[in-house]
Amino acid sequence: MEQGNTSGTIPTELGQLEKLVFIDMDFNLLTGSLPTELYQLTKLRTLDVNNNQLTGTISTDIGGMVDLDFVQLQSNLFEGTIPTEFGLLTKLKTFNVQINKFTGKMPDVVCDMSQLVSLRASCKRGRVCKKESDVVVKCGTKQNKRCCTCICEEDN
């Protein structure tokens, strides 16, 4: 379903595909939330649903998807906070949640994940933070190696 004009919701039946390792539904017109059944896919390595119109929150059950190494949720309408349970995903290398409606601070356990190669999230006023290994990036008016200090924080 990659890069098409597929609309509707993500089928709950995907959660029954116990050996599924790859979901790529990016650049479609999908709506609704991530079905709770998806969180049962413990062998899933790639979850790519960027550039859709998905809503809702990300469940703390994401922490049970221990084989995930690539998560792209950007350019949707997800809200709430980033669950600290992402810190349980010890194989996660790419994590992109920019351009959503998330609030709060990126959990420290996510920022401290040494295996992460790419971490991208939006700050409040459209600034984008990136963690590319130990590359120094500019985040708002701050420069540091750990851009997580400003990711998704409220601006005063």
Two tokens, residue 62? 């994401």
**Residue of 152 and 113 predicted with greater confidence:** 113
pLDDT band, residue 1 (cuts 50/70/90): low
3-state SS of 65-131? CCCCCEEECCCCCCEECCCHHHHHCCCCCEEECCCCEECCCCCHHHHCCCCCCEEEEECCCCCEEEE
43-47, 63-67, 77-81, 129-133: which range is least confident on average? 129-133
pLDDT band, residue 115 (cuts 50/70/90): confident
Two tokens, residue 11? 């089928």
* Angle subtended at Cα 78 by Cα 20 and Cα 68, rounded to the nearest 5 degrees: 30
Which structural domains are found in the chain, ordered by start?
Answer: 7-149 (3.80.10.10)
Above 50 in pLDDT, residue 141? Answer: no
Count of beta carbons in the 10 Å neighbourhood of residue 92? 24
Task: Kindly state the DSSP code that residue 154 receives in the 8-state scheme.
Answer: P
Above 90 in pLDDT, residue 106? Answer: no
3-state helix, strand, coil in the chain (%, to 5): 15, 25, 55
Above 60 in pLDDT, residue 57? Answer: yes
The pLDDT value recorded for residue 2 is 53
**Cβ distance 113 to 92 under 8 Å?**
yes
d(CA 69, CA 30): 23
